[in-house]
Chain A
Amino acid sequence: MSDQATFNQPRTGASIALRVLLWAVLIVFAIWFLLPAYVVVGTSLKGLEEIRGGSLLALPHELNFSSWRHAWSEACIGVNCTGLEPYFWNSVGMAIPSVIISTLLGALTGYSLTKFKFKGANLVFALILFGCFVPFQVVILPMAVTLGKIGITNTVYGLILVHSVYGMAFTTLFFRNYYVTIPDELVRAATIDGAGFFTIFRRIILPLSPPIIVVSVIWQFTQIWNDFLFGASFTTGGAQPIMVAMNNLVNTTTGVKQYNVDMAAALITAAPTIFVYIIAGRYFVRGLTAGSVKG
């Protein structure tokens, strides 16, 4: 919207100075936001001598990708010197099923809660909604006991269960807020024509859903990939997701501290979610604001 006032005014010295100031502030903040990315990428491309001898902000002398290879396939995480590769696949194996399950259940639940308002639907929604905001510390301990009882502690299945359950609260919120905006008449007309619950979902609701499905998938993927608490609480050793393994790699204290490998590991670990952000940033923002309940 912007203030037309400044815009229509003649370009006086003061308005030009304001414009310069505006850009100065924007650029200073851009530098602040980009500094860690620059430092991480730069450090990961340097050799150890170059890091110790040179400035943090200096450009690398050459593009040396050996730290990346080392972080991916050789670096030691605790006593296992396998690099991040197996943990990367752990995370993939954990994230994909959890995203699919939570999105599917969230869509069906959101659909039921909005288009077939049964008695108590609002209460059910409120109870599910509060699940979004519960601090997970309060469920960790019972979850650890429960996973142990079922016998899936320290497995990818355990993490799939955890992420599917706690992700569902969010996906239900997303889909519910989205389906509220679809006119009920569409569903009513189809009901009169004799279409059943699932037929309406498949023929009418689902074709209207791609935007919110993208939001839900991106949100869930980012949350699950970036999770640390559950991974650290319910897995050890070779079953860890990459976020936990990366943190262990950085904090493994045996031998010389290899800052370049640490930074390469951080880069590899962050790559999937950054990639998602770059190709689908628009939906990313929508998920964030949808998470603010308003929808």
Chain B
Amino acid sequence: MTHPPLKIADRIARWLPQIVVAPCFAAILFFVYGFIAWTAYISFTKSKMLPNYNLIGTRPYERLFQMDRWGVAQENLFIFGILFIAFAIVIGCLLAVLLDQKIRAEGFIRTIYLYPMAISFIITGTAWKWIMNPSLGLETVVRSWGWESFSFGWTNDANLAVYALVMAAVWQSAGFVMALFLSALRSVDQDIIKAASLDGASPWKIYMRIILPSMRPVFMSAIVILSHLAIKSFDLVVALTGGGPGYSSTLPANFMYEMTFRRNEIGIGAASAMIMLATVAAIMVPYLYSELRGKKHV
């Protein structure tokens, strides 16, 4: 030792930032990345009711993709995801633009549009299930008004149950998209708009040509967040359709839960979870990468 050793207190002080980050970081490393590795491993084993650590290669994945239930779940996710994202964005965007027209009582209306975000999907599902009740729900009410062919018992129809999920999920999330867009609308450069309107551009043109295009990053954020929500959707299915009739409205998250906790097919459950992770990663990693990199340039 050539130079005098630092006092222990000084050393601790120097490393304090790292020491403080350590618990959080270690927990994430173990409970997120460690667990992902664990699930990945299990997805290559013949685990049934209990984890079994003998590797059997890709057989669980092969079996997974042969299962009709998984095919239905993936197809449902595709339909649900596309419609949910499209409707949530169109409605959210429409409401934001409308609310931006110097509306009296804007705050009050905004509160109404946004309150579903405070509620859990379980509550949302329970409420809409009751509204869609075939004998006592909205269908009966509207028919009694004279619209005899009105049909709203979607949850009991294998062909329509997915659309019931879309409707309830859009109900829950459109207000959030509206809030996102409204705050973006309010941060558009006022001078450009003034200049355009002096040049005689109609309000419609100003929206379509200037304001909406300048909001591309918000569109991106909304799409990413909503697709993330869609892939994770689990509770809404449980409460609204129970995945039924049969398994016609099941989603991958429900498939995973069913296999893991009800059917003692842990290996298959793990394989399906890995596919879900891969789907999320395919969307999130490029997005996060561009977000984090973009920040440094600013």
Which A residues contact B (CB, under 8 angstroms)? 1-7, 22, 25-26, 29-30, 32-37, 39-40, 43, 51-52, 55-57, 105-106, 108-109, 111-113, 116, 118, 121-122, 124, 126-131, 133-143, 145, 165-166, 168-169, 172, 196-198, 222, 225-229, 232-233, 243, 246-247, 250-251, 259, 262-263, 266, 269-270, 273-274, 276-278, 281, 284-285, 288-289, 291-294
Main secondary structure of the interface of B (DSSP, over half): helix
Chain A residues contacting B136 (CB-CB under 8 Å) are 51-52, 56, 259
* A57 close to B100 (CB less than 8 A): no
Instruction: Scan B129-147; emit 1 where CB is below 8 A from any A CB, else 0.
Output: 0110100111011001000
Chain B residues contacting A39 (CB-CB under 8 Å) are 127, 130-131
A247's partner among B24, B207, B221, B239 (CB-CB below 8 A) is B239
Docked CA distance A227–B118 (Å): 12
* A128 close to B28 (CB less than 8 A): yes
Main secondary structure of the interface of A (DSSP, over half): helix
* A137 close to B273 (CB less than 8 A): yes
Can you report 30 residue pairs joining A to B where beta carbons are below 8 Å apart? A1-B188, A25-B94, A29-B91, A33-B112, A34-B112, A56-B133, A109-B24, A111-B20, A112-B21, A116-B16, A135-B273, A141-B51, A141-B260, A141-B269, A142-B38, A165-B28, A166-B32, A168-B24, A168-B28, A197-B16, A198-B16, A226-B120, A228-B122, A229-B235, A246-B122, A269-B120, A269-B122, A284-B117, A292-B225, A294-B221
Which B residues contact A (CB, under 8 angstroms)? 13, 16-18, 20-21, 23-25, 27-29, 31-36, 38-39, 42, 51, 91, 94-95, 98-103, 109, 111-124, 126-128, 130-131, 133, 136-138, 140-141, 144, 171, 175-176, 179-180, 183, 185-186, 188, 190, 193-194, 197, 201-203, 206-207, 217, 221-222, 225, 228, 231-232, 234-235, 238-239, 242, 252-253, 256-257, 260-261, 266, 269-270, 272-274, 276-277, 280, 284-285, 287-288, 291-292
* B24 close to A138 (CB less than 8 A): no
B191 to chain A, nearest CB (A): 11
Docked CA distance A284–B176 (Å): 10
Docked CA distance A228–B65 (Å): 27
Name A18's closest neighbour in chain B (CB-CB): B101
* A124 close to B25 (CB less than 8 A): yes
* B24 close to A136 (CB less than 8 A): no
Asked whether A247 and B101 contact (CB < 8 A) given A26-B109, A196-B13, the answer is no
Chain B residues contacting A137 (CB-CB under 8 Å) are 234, 252-253, 256-257, 272-273, 276-277
Asked whether A197 and B20 contact (CB < 8 A) given A3-B197, A135-B231, the answer is yes
Chain B residues contacting A276 (CB-CB under 8 Å) are 118
* A289 close to B180 (CB less than 8 A): yes
* A172 close to B118 (CB less than 8 A): no
* B35 close to A143 (CB less than 8 A): yes
Name B126's closest neighbour in chain A (CB-CB): A266
Chain B residues contacting A43 (CB-CB under 8 Å) are 130
A112's partner among B17, B131, B186 (CB-CB below 8 A) is B17
A229's partner among B112, B115, B234, B292 (CB-CB below 8 A) is B234
B17's partner among A1, A6, A35, A118 (CB-CB below 8 A) is A118
B126's partner among A29, A166, A247, A274 (CB-CB below 8 A) is A247
Name B138's closest neighbour in chain A (CB-CB): A56
* B197 close to A4 (CB less than 8 A): yes
Chain A residues contacting B109 (CB-CB under 8 Å) are 26, 30
B36's partner among A138, A165, A251 (CB-CB below 8 A) is A138
* A165 close to B31 (CB less than 8 A): yes
Docked CA distance A129–B42 (Å): 25
